[in-house]
Amino acid sequence: MTTATIRIQRSDDDALKHAADGFVVAWKSGQAQEHVFSFSSPEQLFTVLSPKRWKLIETLQKLGPSTYRALATALSRDVKRVHEDTAVLIEWGLVEINEDGRIHVPYDVIKADFDLRSVA
For residues 74 and 113, what is the distance between their CA atoms, to the nearest angstrom?
A: 28
* 86 HSE (CA, 13 A, CB side): 27
Q: How much is the pLDDT for 11?
A: 59
pTM confidence score? 0.77
* Segments in the chain forming alpha helices (H): 12-29, 42-48, 51-63, 68-75, 79-92
For residues 93 and 71, what is the distance between their CA atoms, to the nearest angstrom?
A: 18
pLDDT digits (tens, 9 = 90+) for 83-116: 999 999 999 999 999 999 999 999 999 998 877 6
pLDDT < 50 positions in the chain? 27
- What is the fold, at CATH topology level, of the domain defined by 3-113? Arc Repressor Mutant, subunit A (1.10.10)
Q: How much is the pLDDT for 92?
A: 93
